[in-house]
């Protein structure tokens, strides 16, 4: 059985990293048009780098939680394929021992706004940092901003249409294309499961739902799948 998993900020919430749309979330503290759009970066690159430097420092201090470790265990022990797509830009899945397709980019990478080259980010990044490829001072975070194309979309399409089970964990279902993945997977015949602290905006599109904090609900679900007890086999 091929399992395709999509995670959002809720899987890292109990590691102390903020979500975006919970009541005291990042978009309640910052104007996303200023820190998460190409126009915002063009207007004020220092403000944008300050925002991501702070998030990079938070992520470096955070630890993976039981949900990250349970998903890594599923990938190791499940007989079929386990594919992880994440909207998160932190590296907690990797630090729990699991590769993830970062469709919204990664705090751990830098990108040249001029030539597009990518490289490992330093903790405190600045637009003045020269690009190692073209030497121009055009360094930006390798984050997919609003209005930019998410990454890995071709690969993701293939996985959604060949999944036996699609599971969305800790995402509010408010940002497309990720919020529509459940429709594509279901159309191709996958069973669908949502795991969240509360029903997402697209909860009604899922066959099944587990409600509760990810650090409890995800390990319990993984135990069931690995023991063959889960109804979503």
Dihedral angle of Cα 5, 9, 12, 18, to the nearest 10 degrees: 180
Q: Which of 97, 137, 180, 213 binds ligand APR (CB under 6 A)?
A: 213
Omega before residue 177 within 30° of 0, cis: yes
- Residue nearer to ligand APR on the CB measure, 77 or 146: 146
Q: Which of 87, 98, 139, 192 binds ligand APR (CB under 6 A)?
A: 87
Distance between CA atoms of residues 46 and 188, nearest Å: 44
Q: Which of residues 102-141 bind ligand APR (CB under 6 A)?
A: 104
Mark whether 104 is an active-site residue: yes
Cα 98 → chain centroid? 13
**Nearest one of 210, 158, 220, 204 to 184, comparing CA atoms:** 158
Decide: is 174 part of the binding site for ligand APR (CB under 6 A). yes
Our finding on whether 10 is near ligand APR (CB under 6 A) is yes
CB 68 within 8 A of CB 106: no
DSSP letter assigned to residue 51: H
Residue with smaller CB distance to ligand APR, 53 or 217? 217
List contacts with ligand APR (CB under 6 A). Answer: 8-10, 13-14, 19-22, 25, 87, 104, 170-172, 174-175, 196-198, 200, 213-214
> Hey, which residues are catalytic here?
104
């Amino acid at each position: 059985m091929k399992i395709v998993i999509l995670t959002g900020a809720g899987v890292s919430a109990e590691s102390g990293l903020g979500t975006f749309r919970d009541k005291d979330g990042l978009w309640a503290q910052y104007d996303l048009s200023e820190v998460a759009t190409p126009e915002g970066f063009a207007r004020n690159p220092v403000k944008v780098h300050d925002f991501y430097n702070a998030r990079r420092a938070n992520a470096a201090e955070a630890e993976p939680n039981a949900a990250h470790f349970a998903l890594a265990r599923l990938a190791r022990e499940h007989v079929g394929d386990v594919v992880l797509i994440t909207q998160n830009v932190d590296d907690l899945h990797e630090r729990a021992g699991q590769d993830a397709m970062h469709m919204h980019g990664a705090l751990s990478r830098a990108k040249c706004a001029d030539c597009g080259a990518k490289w490992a980010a330093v903790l405190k990044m600045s637009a003045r940092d020269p690009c190692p490829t073209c030497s121009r001072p055009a360094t930006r975070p390798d984050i997919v901003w609003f209005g930019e194309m998410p990454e890995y979309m071709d690969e993701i399409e293939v996985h959604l249409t060949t999944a036996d089970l699609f599971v969305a964990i800790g995402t509010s279902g408010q940002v497309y294309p990720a919020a529509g993945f459940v429709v594509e997977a279901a159309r191709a015949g996958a069973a669908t499961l949502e795991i969240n602290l509360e029903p997402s905006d697209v909860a009604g599109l899922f066959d099944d739902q587990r409600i509760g904090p990810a650090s409890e609900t995800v390990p319990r679900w993984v135990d069931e799948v690995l023991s063959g007890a889960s109804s979503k086999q």
